[in-house]
Amino acid sequence: MLREIVLDTETTGTSHASGDRVIEIGCVEMLNHIPTGKSYHVYINPECPVSPGAFAVHGLSDEFLADKPVFATIADEFMDFVADARLVIHNAAFDIGFLNAELARTGHPQFNLADAVDTLSMARRKHPGAANNLDALCSRYGIDNSRRTKHGALLDAEILAEVYIELIGGRQVGFDLSLQPTARRSAAAAERAARDARPRTLISRLTDAERAAHEAFIQSIGPSAIWREYLGETKPEAS
């Protein structure tokens, strides 16, 4: 059984190498690409100020975070929740970079970026040249993100889970689940071939008056009128 954790973070800024820290983690569990309803969410006191740019994105203030637990306090429960699961992250290098910086401070094992599914890379391959941020993908796939007035880790993880299902073709997986993928593709191809082979009879929309007027026009041109071919008539042999 494939267990995946769709994950998102919010941070104090854009560079963990410059000392920015994680302030929120949101996770959604999926089994075999189906959300289980289990989630993990926590706000974290970063022990440093939130930058104005980051605050404009997520709205999490220093005052709000002041009484929240520090990362070291929640590290064990977080790692227990994600244990043995494959991480699914939009722009995975960003979030994993921040999480690994936090895990290094607490002495916990770090994540391997190569083991994560990066939905941003998936979207870029599937839609080259198009906007592939989360809002753009929601618009493309008809996913309601009207609640997303500010970035929030848990809400973004929930939305990303829906986007991920679309990126892997989840809504198209089998109307008949008893068929294997190859059989489903063969059945679909056969159905298309049968549909295309059906005769398509075009019904004339000419009235009797219009047909009579056109016939009179053809007669005025003479017996060699090319219009007779389009009406399915045989041109008279030249005498």
Predicted confidence at residue 125, as pLDDT, reads 96
Is the per-residue pLDDT at 225 higher than 70? no
The string of DSSP letters for 23-86 reads EEEEEEEEETTEEEEEEEEEE---SSPPPHHHHHHH---HHHHTTSPPHHHHHHHHHHHHTTPE
Average pLDDT, the chain: 83
pLDDT band for position 212 (50/70/90)?
Answer: confident
The answer to whether the beta carbons of residues 228 and 218 sit under 8 Å apart is yes
What percent of the chain lies above the pLDDT cut of 70? 74
pLDDT band for position 182 (50/70/90)?
Answer: very low
Is the per-residue pLDDT at 236 higher than 50? no
Q: What is the mean pLDDT of residues 156-174?
A: 83
Q: Is 213 helix (H, G, I), strand (E, B) or coil?
A: helix
Tell me the Ramachandran region of residue 32: left when phi exceeds 0, alpha when psi lies from -120 to 50, beta otherwise: left
Q: Closest Cα partner for 56 from 159, 151, 153?
A: 151
Q: What is the mean pLDDT of residues 39-59?
A: 96
Which residues are catalytic, by number? 151
Predicted confidence at residue 205, as pLDDT, reads 60
What's the longest Cα–Cα distance across the chain? 106
CA pseudo-torsion sign 207, 213, 216, 221: negative
